[in-house]
A = this chain, B = another copy of it.
Amino acid sequence: MARIAFIVANDFEDAEFRVPYDEVKKAGHEAVIIGVEAGRQLKGKKGKEVITAEKSVKDVREEDFAALVIPGGYSPDHLRMEIPMVGFVRDFFKADKPIASICHGPWMLVEADIADGRTVTSFPSIKTDLINAGARWVDREVVEDGGLITSRKPDDLKAFCAALLRQVSQGIAARLESPLAPKATSDQQPSVHH
């Protein structure tokens, strides 16, 4: 049984919180919702989920958790402006623990400056931000490069949760020293118009 941190702010993508949260608990782990302030209500962007932050990021430490989950939607646009949140993400990276981020979640990898040299995926709108941060971007339902687990959208949640749960029980994946072969030659274009 492991304790897994979920960092969330308003406008999170509802299913991208709900599905991993339920899967983590179903697998027998503990899931903790961490916000900027404990006790604050947080609303999903689709209006399906209203959750409450159990802990403030100021009152938790990476040492207390086995893995980190970053749901997408516009929650990461809020979280990336919070210095303790960015530091919390960076701490999991330094500790070689799984960081599972989906959709717009990988913005936090940009902000924590931990995407450089890594292979990732994301919602396509932030592809250029990830490439400009030094990442190699590919279009796959899930990418695991060491402890960095990334997916694109709610449709990818099954593969995303499976990767997270496997890394929690079996340790982080191997580094993709030799990057994933792109699915199409367009995978690494720095931006669409070049």
Contact = CB atoms under 8 A, between A and B. Distances in A.
Interface of A: 74, 77-78, 80-81, 83, 86-87, 90, 104, 110-113, 124-125, 128-129, 132-133, 190-194
B110 A132 contact: yes
B87 A110 contact: no
Q: How many copies does the complex hold?
A: 2
A192 B74 CA distance: 19
25 contacts: A74-B77, A77-B104, A77-B125, A78-B125, A81-B125, A83-B192, A83-B193, A86-B191, A86-B192, A86-B193, A87-B193, A90-B193, A110-B128, A110-B132, A111-B128, A111-B192, A112-B193, A113-B191, A113-B193, A113-B194, A128-B133, A129-B129, A129-B132, A132-B132, A132-B133
A77 B123 CA distance: 10
A129 B112 CA distance: 12
Contacts of A132: 110, 129, 132-133
A81 B124 contact: yes
Contact of A191 (B112, B129, B191): B112
A190 B124 contact: no
Nearest to A124: B81
A164 B158 CA distance: 48
Given A86-B192, A111-B192, A129-B132, 12 more contacts: A74-B77, A77-B104, A81-B124, A86-B191, A87-B193, A90-B193, A110-B128, A110-B129, A110-B132, A111-B128, A113-B194, A132-B132
Leading 9 A-B pairs by shortest Cβ distance:
A132-B132, A129-B129, A83-B192, A77-B125, A86-B193, A81-B125, A87-B193, A132-B133, A113-B191
